[in-house]
Chains A and B, each alone.
Chain A
Amino acid sequence: MLMGVVLAGAAFFAYTQLARSSYLTGRYLEKQQPVQFSHKHHVGDDGVDCRYCHSTVETTATAGMPPTQTCMNCHSQIWSDSPYLEPVRASYRDNKPIEWERVHDLPEFAYFNHSIHVAKGVGCSTCHGQIDNMPAVYQQNTLQMEWCLACHREPEKFIRPKSEIYNMQWQDGDLDAKERLDLKAKYKIRSKEMMTSCSVCHR
């Protein structure tokens, strides 16, 4: 009897965990990209700012993928004959955009806007993880609704000062509780009820 209860409980727990597993969410899965582009190298080693490539992150819904011209700003000068970069040069020559594989793919019924998150103090690494340590970018979080809501319910646990948005080393513990609440007030983040209203994300 007891054994049965334990087994049933274990089975149920396993079942709930399966639904959150990377097998179903695609978390931690590195994608094969058309160019062997390393975020670790560009962000971590070279210190290129996120906004240099993802230039519309502060103003529009999508962070923006850089046109090949952005790559060529540097790579017409350095590594200009590297075989690794041939797809980039080909794209530039033929005026055909590189077809990157999307890593973070939200379903169409969820509305997401980068600019509002950045404006209200959500840093890149909060959702995307430490990109500066990722040679190939993978999805750091489940992107399940419960994950979105965890922050929409208690944004003060995750926000940071404006100056630290693009800081990949930022830790949530860098501010104490009171500082975070002040920050929430300063950003004028709405109430939990507003933030978790259906139509905030499902429009």
Chain B
Amino acid sequence: MAELKEIQERVYPPMVEGDHTFATVSDKIGDLTLKKKTPYHWFIGFAIAFMVAQLLLFAVTTLLARGIGIWGNNQPVGWAFDIINFVWWIGIGHAGTLISAILLLLNQKWRTSINRFAEAMTLFAVACAAMFPLLHTGRPWLAAYWLFPYPNTMGIWPQFRSPLIWDVFAVSTYATISLLFWYVGLIPDLATLRDRAKNKFFKFVYGALSWGWRGSARHWHRYEIAYLLLAGISTPLVLSVHSIVSFDFSVSQVPGWHATIFPPYFVAGAIFAGFAMVLILCIPLRVWYNMKDFITDTHLIYMGKVMLATGLIVVYGYAMEAFFGWYSASEYEVFMVKNRIWEGPYWWSYWLLIFCNGMSIQLLWFKRFRESPFWLFIISLVVSVGMWLERFVIIVTSLNRDFLPSSWAMYSPTIFDWSMFIGTIGFFFTLIFLFVRFLPIISIFEVRTLLPDANVHGRQQDFDESVLEVEYTWEKTDEPNR
């Protein structure tokens, strides 16, 4: 019997550790928001993030006052930090959607305790991403008109054959669905917070946000359907959004951009970068807030494995890019590959990229590194840098040596480019800190479903557990089932 249980734990490791009941889960997660004193490291973290976010204020104000000439991009490198950072942020968001939608549909239990903040991460990352193309127009208040040109006095419509306009629809759909998904998932938890809040003001706010949720069977029924539908809608978005982002490049004719590998390679890169960011967020979070029971080592190991798998796809993409260059037999493509890898002025960025994305993840083959939160954290940081470099390499090294040698020029970012980029990181973490403070960072009611209490009738994973069921029932009946 004990043996059977051991095997089961190896195949299906428990996703909640420690001795939890429904009530302790609500306490542990809900109290972070409602009862516990805000820990001092929250204030330190928030203060740093908020100060860094001021760089964004500085960069954007200067931009609006003086125009996009303050940025370093100019012909032939017409796209640089603005699109690098856009793609980087959008990519980071993808892990959230993958966790919340695809893993839900695939019935992966380990998504449950990380989906909430992964989705929040998605939302905040999309917000950061959207800033870049909007501000690149220099006049964001007009950009809304260019994108939805009503009334149209131009006598011409946006070019619907251009991936740039698909991008607008893809990203705005993505933002809308992510917001809905996140919010719908929050409603039962907001109601829990409403019921537990002592402070009148918070009771009112959480009450208003939970839309009168009473937890009746009908509510749950509606909720389950809505959540499943949203998961169904989100699932194709995981693949489509970054495919379309990659079309921004691959539909053009620039050597280094015009490659058929781009969509899958970008999607894999997005999930790769996203999981790195999820790890960066959850490793400190689970320590600071003592959430190791819910975000277990198993979660981290699984995420490490996803990173390794997607990272290898990305590395395959790098290999294919070089191969395509050679196989095309086009002198421009061959030149681009040479220029990118060893002849050009940005060769170092390529090798740094290979180090960050290609070499660092090889450590994840080893159990020792996969099971060490410290190493996972370090590798995730390195991968985040690497994924940023990937976009830098694709964009800058392809453009700075274009078809016309007379127009070749170097690109270097200005202080405003850096301020804006670093500012969005500050903005992102400011939002994350606010989220951690005011909303349940882990889905309370979904974690409850993982508890043995929720499975008294034996609805465990597909495993022969008819014997275990009896054992569970016996073990648990004397506990109060709240």
The contact string, 1 if C-beta is below 8 Å from chain A, for chain B 70-101, is 00000000000000000000000000000000
| A150 touches B (CB below 8 Å) | yes
Alpha-carbon separation in the docked complex, A150 to B156 (Å) = 10
- Partner pick for A19 among B151, B155, B156, CB 8 A cutoff: B151
* B151 A146 Cβ-Cβ under 8 A: no
Alpha-carbon separation in the docked complex, A196 to B159 (Å) = 13
A25 to chain B, nearest CB (A): 9
Whose C-beta in chain A lies nearest to the C-beta of B152? A146
* B155 A147 Cβ-Cβ under 8 A: yes
Q: Which residues of A contact B153 (CB under 8 A)?
A: 19-20, 142, 144-146
- Partner pick for A15 among B151, B155, B156, CB 8 A cutoff: B151
Alpha-carbon separation in the docked complex, A58 to B221 (Å) = 76
| B225 touches A (CB below 8 Å) | no
The residues in A between 72 and 97 inclusive whose CB is less than 8 angstroms from any CB of B are none
The residues in B between 155 and 176 inclusive whose CB is less than 8 angstroms from any CB of A are 155-156
Alpha-carbon separation in the docked complex, A147 to B153 (Å) = 8
Q: Which residues of A contact B154 (CB under 8 A)?
A: 144-146, 149
Alpha-carbon separation in the docked complex, A16 to B151 (Å) = 5
The contact string, 1 if C-beta is below 8 Å from chain A, for chain B 135-165, is 0000000000000001111111000000000
Whose C-beta in chain B lies nearest to the C-beta of A147? B155
Q: Which residues of B contact A15 (CB under 8 A)?
A: 150-151
The residues in A between 1 and 38 inclusive whose CB is less than 8 angstroms from any CB of B are 15-16, 18-20
Alpha-carbon separation in the docked complex, A150 to B153 (Å) = 11
Chain B interface size, under 10 / 10 to 19 / 20 to 34 / 35 or more: under 10
Alpha-carbon separation in the docked complex, A104 to B155 (Å) = 20
- Decide if the interface of chain B is mainly helix, strand, loop or mixed: loop
Alpha-carbon separation in the docked complex, A18 to B151 (Å) = 9
Alpha-carbon separation in the docked complex, A203 to B424 (Å) = 33
Q: Which residues of B contact A19 (CB under 8 A)?
A: 151, 153
* A20 B151 Cβ-Cβ under 8 A: yes
Chain A interface size, under 10 / 10 to 19 / 20 to 34 / 35 or more: 10 to 19
Whose C-beta in chain B lies nearest to the C-beta of A15? B151
Q: Which residues of B contact A145 (CB under 8 A)?
A: 153-156
The residues in A between 143 and 162 inclusive whose CB is less than 8 angstroms from any CB of B are 144-150
Alpha-carbon separation in the docked complex, A15 to B156 (Å) = 18
Alpha-carbon separation in the docked complex, A142 to B153 (Å) = 10
Q: Which residues of B contact A142 (CB under 8 A)?
A: 153
B155 to chain A, nearest CB (A): 3
Whose C-beta in chain A lies nearest to the C-beta of B159? A198
The contact string, 1 if C-beta is below 8 Å from chain B, for chain A 145-188, is 11111100000000000000000000000000000000000000
Q: Which residues of A contact B152 (CB under 8 A)?
A: 146
Whose C-beta in chain A lies nearest to the C-beta of B155? A146
Q: Which residues of A contact B151 (CB under 8 A)?
A: 15-16, 18-20
Alpha-carbon separation in the docked complex, A149 to B150 (Å) = 17
Q: Which residues of B contact A149 (CB under 8 A)?
A: 154-156
B242 to chain A, nearest CB (A): 28
Q: Which residues of A contact B150 (CB under 8 A)?
A: 15-16
Alpha-carbon separation in the docked complex, A6 to B157 (Å) = 26
A35 to chain B, nearest CB (A): 33
Q: Which residues of B contact A150 (CB under 8 A)?
A: 155
Alpha-carbon separation in the docked complex, A16 to B153 (Å) = 8
The contact string, 1 if C-beta is below 8 Å from chain B, for chain A 97-119, is 00000000000000000000000
Q: Which residues of B contact A146 (CB under 8 A)?
A: 152-156
Most A C-beta atoms less than 10 A away, residue of B150, B152, B153: B153
Alpha-carbon separation in the docked complex, A146 to B151 (Å) = 11
The residues in B between 258 and 279 inclusive whose CB is less than 8 angstroms from any CB of A are none
A104 to chain B, nearest CB (A): 17
Alpha-carbon separation in the docked complex, A145 to B145 (Å) = 14
Whose C-beta in chain B lies nearest to the C-beta of A196? B156
The contact string, 1 if C-beta is below 8 Å from chain A, for chain B 361-377, is 00000000000000000
A171 to chain B, nearest CB (A): 24
Q: Which residues of A contact B155 (CB under 8 A)?
A: 144-150
A111 to chain B, nearest CB (A): 16
Alpha-carbon separation in the docked complex, A15 to B151 (Å) = 7
Alpha-carbon separation in the docked complex, A146 to B152 (Å) = 8
Alpha-carbon separation in the docked complex, A149 to B155 (Å) = 7
B148 to chain A, nearest CB (A): 13
Q: Which residues of A contact B156 (CB under 8 A)?
A: 145-146, 149, 196
Alpha-carbon separation in the docked complex, A48 to B156 (Å) = 39
Whose C-beta in chain A lies nearest to the C-beta of B153? A144
Whose C-beta in chain B lies nearest to the C-beta of A146? B155
Alpha-carbon separation in the docked complex, A26 to B316 (Å) = 59
Whose C-beta in chain B lies nearest to the C-beta of A149? B155
Alpha-carbon separation in the docked complex, A19 to B150 (Å) = 9
Q: Which residues of B contact A18 (CB under 8 A)?
A: 151
B136 to chain A, nearest CB (A): 16
Alpha-carbon separation in the docked complex, A20 to B155 (Å) = 12
Alpha-carbon separation in the docked complex, A25 to B254 (Å) = 40
A38 to chain B, nearest CB (A): 32
Whose C-beta in chain B lies nearest to the C-beta of A144? B153
Nearest 8 A/B pairs, CB to CB: A146-B155, A16-B151, A149-B155, A145-B154, A19-B151, A144-B153, A19-B153, A146-B153
Q: Which residues does B use to contact A, with CB under 8 Å? A: 150-156
23 cross-chain CB contacts under 8 A: A15-B151, A16-B150, A16-B151, A18-B151, A19-B151, A19-B153, A20-B151, A142-B153, A144-B154, A144-B155, A145-B154, A145-B156, A146-B152, A146-B153, A146-B154, A146-B156, A147-B155, A148-B155, A149-B154, A149-B155, A149-B156, A150-B155, A196-B156
Given A16-B150, A16-B151, list of 19 further CB < 8 A pairs? A15-B150, A15-B151, A18-B151, A19-B151, A19-B153, A20-B151, A142-B153, A144-B155, A145-B154, A145-B155, A146-B152, A146-B153, A146-B155, A146-B156, A147-B155, A148-B155, A149-B154, A149-B156, A150-B155
